[in-house]
């Protein structure tokens, strides 16, 4: 799978051929630090003074490199696909080799950082249910009033919680139909193409 780079991204990375390969390696280290701890404007200012360029140029270069490494690591693209992806940038062979080495050296750590940044959402653990039917009351001798009670057990970061939901069978059937329709939609080619690009 190849990365598709936007014109803005190509413009940000266009600064890299103007600097030494050691500087590109340092930018790579800063990009990984950026992912781990967030942006640090002081580093950009110091690098801009040393290279005699604007702070924005350094910041865009680091952010462009960070995006390239993060997207490549997220998709776990192969060495060949990575090289083919950066080929459109028109960099020298030496710079392409430096970028490839940066990717290979840092992809596991970047994937680990990205997995920690993902929000921790509650997920399904267990479900208990009960069907109650009221057959009669003092006012009405013959009536059928069914109610489905669901106790949904969720787990978040090892902690369990429970939610109690109550509905009538008609609403429950409607929810089931909507969920089945959503699952069928996910299996369409259009949806698969979108999901492939999101991952």
pLDDT at 173 over 90: yes
Q: How confident is the model at residue 188 (pLDDT cuts 50, 70, 90)?
A: confident
For 54, the 3-state DSSP assignment is: coil
For 3, the 3-state DSSP assignment is: coil
Of 184, 78, 172, which Cα lies nearest the Cα of 131?
Answer: 172
Q: How confident is the model at residue 163 (pLDDT cuts 50, 70, 90)?
A: very high
Segment 34-47 mean pLDDT: 78
With 0-12 CB in 10 A as exposed, 13-18 as middle and 19+ as buried, what is 179? exposed
Q: How confident is the model at residue 154 (pLDDT cuts 50, 70, 90)?
A: very high
Residue pointed to by tokens 């193409």 = 193
Q: How confident is the model at residue 180 (pLDDT cuts 50, 70, 90)?
A: very high
87 vs 169, which has greater pLDDT?
Answer: 169
Distance CA 139, CA 149 (A): 24
pLDDT at 198 over 70: no
Q: Please give the radius of gyration of the chain, using alpha carbons only, rounded to the nearest integer.
A: 27
Distance CA 91, CA 13 (A): 10
pLDDT at 31 over 70: yes
pLDDT for position 111: 82
Mean pLDDT for the chain?
A: 82
Q: What percent of the chain has pLDDT over 70?
A: 96
Could you tell me how many residues make up the chain?
A: 199
Q: Is the dihedral of CA 128, 134, 138, 139 positive or negative?
A: positive
Segment 123-128 mean pLDDT: 90
pLDDT for position 68: 83
Write down the pTM of the prediction: 0.57
Q: In this predicted model, what pLDDT tens digit does every residue of 80-125 receive, in sequence order?
A: 888 887 777 777 888 888 888 888 888 888 888 777 776 778 888 9
Q: In this predicted model, what pLDDT tens digit does every residue of 49-70 receive, in sequence order?
A: 877 778 888 788 888 888 888 8
């Amino acid at each position: 799978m190849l990365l598709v780079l936007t014109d803005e991204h190509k413009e940000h990375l266009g600064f890299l051929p103007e600097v030494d390969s050691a500087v590109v390696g340092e930018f790579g280290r800063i990009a990984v630090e950026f992912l781990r701890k967030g942006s640090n404007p002081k580093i950009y200012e110091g690098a801009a003074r040393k290279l005699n360029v604007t702070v924005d140029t350094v910041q865009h270069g680091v952010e462009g490199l960070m995006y390239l490494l993060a997207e490549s690591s997220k998709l776990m693209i192969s060495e060949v696909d990575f090289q083919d992806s950066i080929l459109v940038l028109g960099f020298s062979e030496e710079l392409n080799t430096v970028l490839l080495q940066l990717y290979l050296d840092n992809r596991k750590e970047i994937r680990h950082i990205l997995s920690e940044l993902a929000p921790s959402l509650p997920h399904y653990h267990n479900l208990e249910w009960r069907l109650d039917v009221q057959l009669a009351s003092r006012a009405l001798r013959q009536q059928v009033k069914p109610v489905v009670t669901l106790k949904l057990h969720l787990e978040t970061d090892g902690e369990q919680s429970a939610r109690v939901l109550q509905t009538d069978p008609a609403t429950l059937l409607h929810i089931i139909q909507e969920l089945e329709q959503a699952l069928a939609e996910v299996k369409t080619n259009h949806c698969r193409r979108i999901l492939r690009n999101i991952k």
